[in-house]
Amino acid sequence: MAEWFDMGKHTWFVWGSYGVFAFFIVAELLLLERRRRTILQRLSRTSRMNSGVNDET
Amino acid sequence: MNINWFKYASPASFYPLAGKMIPWFAIPAGILAFIGLVMGLFVLPPDFKQGESYRIIFIHVPAAWMSMVIYLAMAFWAIVGMVWNSRLSAMMAIALAPTGAMFCFLALWTGALWGKPTWGTYWVWDARLTTQLILLFMYLGYMALHAAIEDPRRAARASGLLAIVGAFNVPIIYFSVQWWNTLHQGASITPNKSEMAASMASVMLIMAVAAWLYAIAVALKRVRCEILDRERHASWVAELVTKTGQVHG
């Protein structure tokens, strides 16, 4: 298995490139999903508050 | 088939459409990236001249292409937003920026790590590298300017102008290797010829298509966030929330 990842004297350059690339892609996807959840939670909260106000009136 | 395209210029109509479109781009992006990575990293033999380090091309070139294409797309949406005063276009422009900036940084990073074993240096102030670095600053400037102005219309107008002015840098990046003597090599692939072995070129193209599809999927997902964020006071968002309990559709 280890030999698959062995790039000889270029191991750092190849995996340093692919590793950072993968990190950024994963980070972008996670941050985007987190942003989406935050917005949805805020909207649901606002909606509940508004319906509460409407119920009282 | 008669499609009323202007219908989809409204955020309320585009929001569910974008949601339906995302898997059509995201799933093929994942499949193609998987094929490209397995081929590029484990199946193709080392290059006779550069050894293993040439494998960086499979992410470097798609990242560099996407950084330029996304900037042009951003400028395009900024122009559309200004000319037709359409809110959705301005949202598309800002939704593209973070992904473009990411690809721009990755093009520089992977280029530096490829430059060291190939040229003996991580960085050199030649025309291609410098103009690509300017592109990164344009992206960062665009996002900073947009974030600094509270009023969304003014933010879109000011940052849109910056995007349009910055778009002139893109052809300079592309042709820099022809116009100046650069350490950076010329274009690997042009419409008429390829400087690479067919197997390598095809893996690079697979990765480039994957990058395109990924960028579209992510931009659609981000524009949905932008829409919800900016239209939060609109009645259709309130209806959507009350109807589903949470906004899925």
The interface predicted TM-score (ipTM) is 0.89
Checking if the pLDDT of B129 tops 80, the result is yes
Cβ–Cβ below 8 Å for B229 and A39: yes
B109 chain-A contacts, CB cut-off 8 A = 17, 20-21
Q: What angle (nearest 5°) sits at the alpha carbon of residue B193, between those of residues B187 and B197? A: 85
A38 to chain B, any CB pair closer than 8 A? The answer is no
Q: Which residue has the higher pLDDT, B192 or B170?
A: B170
Which residues of B make CB contacts under 8 Å with A? Answer: 37, 41-42, 51-53, 55-56, 59-60, 63, 98-99, 102, 105-106, 109-110, 113-114, 116-117, 214, 218, 221-222, 224-225, 228-229, 232, 237-238, 241-242, 245-247
CB contact under 8 A, A21 and B114: no
Q: What is the mean pLDDT of chain A?
A: 85
Q: Does the structure show a pLDDT above 90 at B22?
A: yes
Among the residue ranges A34-43, B98-107, B180-189, B197-206, the one predicted with the least confidence is B180-189
From the number of C-beta atoms within 10 Å of its C-beta (0-12, 13-18, 19+), residue B159 rates as buried
Nearest alpha-carbon partner for B36 in B191, B190, B211: B211
Please report the pLDDT score of residue B182 as a whole number. 76
Structurally, chain B folds into a number of domains equal to 1
In this prediction, residues B50-62 reach a mean pLDDT of: 92
Q: Over 60: is that where the pLDDT of B248 sits?
A: no
**Measured on CA atoms in the order A30, A33, A38, A39, is the torsion positive or negative?**
positive
A57 pLDDT above the threshold of 60:
no
In degrees, rounded to 5, the angle at the alpha carbon of residue A18 between the alpha carbons of residues A15 and A21 is 140
Residue B78 lies in a domain: yes
Is residue B11 included in any domain, yes or no?
no
Helix ranges (DSSP H) in chain A: 2-5, 11-56
Asked if residue B191 is part of any domain, the answer here is: no
The H or E element containing residue B64 is: helix B57-84
Cβ–Cβ < 8 Å for B247, B228: yes
What confidence score (pLDDT) does residue B178 get? 83
Measuring CA to CA, which residue among B58, B35, B71, B48 is closest to residue B164?
A: B71
Q: Which residue range(s) make up the domain with B66? A: 21-44+54-183+205-244
A42 contacts in chain B (CB < 8 Å): 232
Query: Closest residue of A to B217, CA-based?
Result: A29
Q: How far apart are CA B78 and CA B155, in angstroms?
A: 11
Task: Tell me, yes or no, whether B4 lies in a domain.
Answer: no
Which residue(s) pair with B194 in the sheet? B189
DSSP B195: S
The C-alpha atoms of residue B85 and residue B88 are separated, in whole angstroms, by: 9
Cα end-to-end distance, chain A, whole Å: 68
Q: CB of B110 within 8 A of CB of A21?
A: yes
Higher pLDDT pick, B35 / B193: B35
% pLDDT > 70, chain B: 93
Please compute the mean of the pLDDT values over residues B48-57 and round it to a whole number. 87
Distance of CA B173 to the CA centre of its chain: 15
Asked if B208 and B61 touch (Cβ cutoff 8 Å), the reply is yes
- Contact present, B30 and B211 (Cβ < 8 Å): no
Q: What is the pLDDT of residue A17?
A: 94
Point out which residues pair with B51 in neighbouring strands.
Answer: B47
- Name the pLDDT band for B232 (thresholds 50, 70, 90): confident
Does A16 sit within 8 Å of B113, measured CB to CB?
A: yes
Q: Does a structural domain hold residue B190?
A: no
pLDDT of residue B5: 63
3-state helix, strand, coil in chain B (%, to 5): 80, 0, 20
> How confident is residue B244, by pLDDT bands cut at 50, 70 and 90?
low
Token digits of residue B107: 């093009």
Mean pLDDT of chain B: 89
* pLDDT band at residue B183 using 50, 70 and 90 as cut-offs: confident
Nearest to B241 among A9, A18, A47 (CB): A47
With cut-offs at 50, 70 and 90, classify the pLDDT of residue A16.
Answer: very high
Quick one: closest CA in A to B246, which residue? A44
User: Smallest CA–CA separation between A46 and chain B, in Å?
Assistant: 9
In a domain, B16, yes or no: no
Residues B99, A43: C-beta atoms closer than 8 Å: no
Is the CB of A10 less than 8 angstroms away from the CB of B245?
Answer: no
Mean pLDDT along residues B24-53? 92
Which pLDDT band holds residue B48 (cuts at 50, 70, 90)?
confident
On chain B, the residues whose CB falls within 8 A of the CB of A51 are: 242
- 3-class SS of residue B47: strand
Q: Give the residue-averaged pLDDT of B160-166.
A: 94
pLDDT at B18: 93
User: According to the model, what pLDDT value does residue B245 have?
Assistant: 60
User: Is B172 a member of any domain?
Assistant: yes
| Chain A interface mutation, best of B49, B110, B136, B237, highest count of A Cβ atoms under 10 Å | B110
Contact B39, B203 (CB under 8 A): yes
The pLDDT score that the predictor gives to residue B11 is 87
Query: Does residue B13 fall inside a structural domain?
Result: no
B249 pLDDT more than 60? no
